[in-house]
Amino acid sequence: MLRCLELASSASGYTAPNPMVGAIVVCDGRIIGEGFHQRYGEPHAEANAINSVSDRELLKRSTLYVNLEPCMHQGKTPPCVNLIIESGIPRVVTGSEDPNPLMAGKGIAKLRTAGVHVTDNVLKEECERLNIRFMTFHRKKRPYIVLKWAQTADGFIDMERDKNIIGRPAWITGWYEQTLVHKWRAQEQAVMVGTNTAIADNPMLNIRRWHGRQPLRITLDRQMRLHPSLHLFDQSQPTLIFTEKPQADPKYATVKFDENLAQNILNELYNRKIISVFIEGGARLLQTFIDAGLWDEARIFTGACTFGTGVKAPVSFFFR
């Protein structure tokens, strides 16, 4: 199962909204086939593992290990449960149950009905942790939320801006930390900033110092203040903008900017099958999600520099 997890993690950032899954085929104590779900829309781990076995007769006395319950519904690829049964594999070991309502134990049940011996929940905690974004999406009906900001030693995330520094961020961290942020972006399906951050920093919100699939860029523009010259509008990658008044342009989504703003945003992202969001600022947007209790991780850099005055870092009793 540890090998399954190792294989599955190879596709980090490429499978969303699907989970990361790895599978191996073992016969007489030896791995004779392995595979993983490499990219959304492509064959699943079980199919890749089974199809990698050169001698198909060995499948009839083999065990398939997979870190997530095999699927039994028709999506972009055929049901893996059917392939397992047709291959004659007599035993399957799974790591965790698929929380997707289309599954939720149905795949395991079908295997058992077909006479396949199934051992489930092996290294369950580790398997669920690997796919915590997928698990959160289906169990809580919202994306997995990662908050990130950098703050000075005296507790500010930005200095007082004037017209001469608009479009240039006030860096608190260095090259290493900025590269790490690009790696983190590659692991999430979407990256979000608030209106003021989009205007003041003019961020690209892309992956330049790492490798991976470019995330969906998300921002807010309640009063349509964003200028079309901003990087967010450069069409280099998809952008989604939340606003209050309906717009004909499909890159805009209409939500209510009320006391439930955070939940309203997450409801729309859930409907769009966005399973994780990396929120990079600014302070007001971060605080909105903190106050609503709608977040899962917070990654905070504290630099050695001081601003003396400026925009205060978000606050919560969780971080004191």
Give the 3-state secondary structure of 288-316: HHHHHCCCCEEEEEECCCCCCCCEECCCC
H helices of the chain, where?
2-9, 45-51, 80-87, 106-113, 124-130, 132-140, 175-187, 195-201, 261-271, 283-292
Q: CA 11, CA 133: separation in Å to the nearest integer?
A: 14
Cα dihedral 262, 188, 208, 302, rounded to 10, equals: 60
Active-site annotation holder among 6, 34, 42, 46: 46
Q: Is 46 a catalytic residue?
A: yes
Question: Are the C-beta atoms of 120 and 108 separated by less than 8 Å?
Answer: yes
Which residue numbers are catalytic?
46
